[in-house]
Amino acid sequence: MCEPTRLEMFLTRLAFFLCGKSVYRTFAERLPLEGGERVLDFGSGMGTVAFYSARRLPKGHLTCLDISKRCLNACRRTLRSYGNVTCLHSDASALGEDSFDVVYSHFVLHDIPKNELERVIPKLTGSLRTGGALIFREPLKDTDKISTIKRLLEKNGLLLKESRVTDIPLMGNALESFYIK
């Protein structure tokens, strides 16, 4: 497991402060949240999306899961004012069945090798309750990886509700997809 460099952490923090509203908040605002859901931020990193989604869950709970200890320490600092957040240092193997109403992932799945996605996607879909939603945003530049992600989600019983292409400042074009279990 590879920890991000200090430079990568700095650049992510800088993007959060400079572009947080246009990049991370807009994604969090599109999540289907009413306030009482159990939500998983898969690959939460430093908590950039979680910062905006946690406040939308006054009666719910957000679990931030990441394989990086360094990122999770930063995530804890980012979310220190929220009492409805748990940070979990693990991979997808820690996920239980039917645990979440919403699972989201922001610019994470494309970094997972294809053979590992074969293991991760079933764990993500299995962690969703019936009727739950899985939402991801991924860069469009790797269409082969996006095709793999979509195929695996559908193979594991999720139905595509909607997709859209959006331009993300500093990141380029991205695909946002919303699946239902």
Mind listing the pLDDT tens digit for each residue in 23-51? 889 999 999 999 999 999 999 998 999 99
Asked if 98 and 77 touch (Cβ cutoff 8 Å), the reply is no
Mind listing the pLDDT tens digit for each residue in 93-146? 889 899 999 999 999 999 999 999 999 999 999 999 999 999 999 999 989 999
Q: For the chain, give every domain's residue range.
A: 6-180
Burial 95-134 (b: 16+ CB within 10 A, else e): beeeebbbbbbbbbbbebeeeebeebbbbbbbbbeeebbb
Asked if 33 and 52 touch (Cβ cutoff 8 Å), the reply is no
CATH superfamily of 6-180: Vaccinia Virus protein VP39 (3.40.50.150)
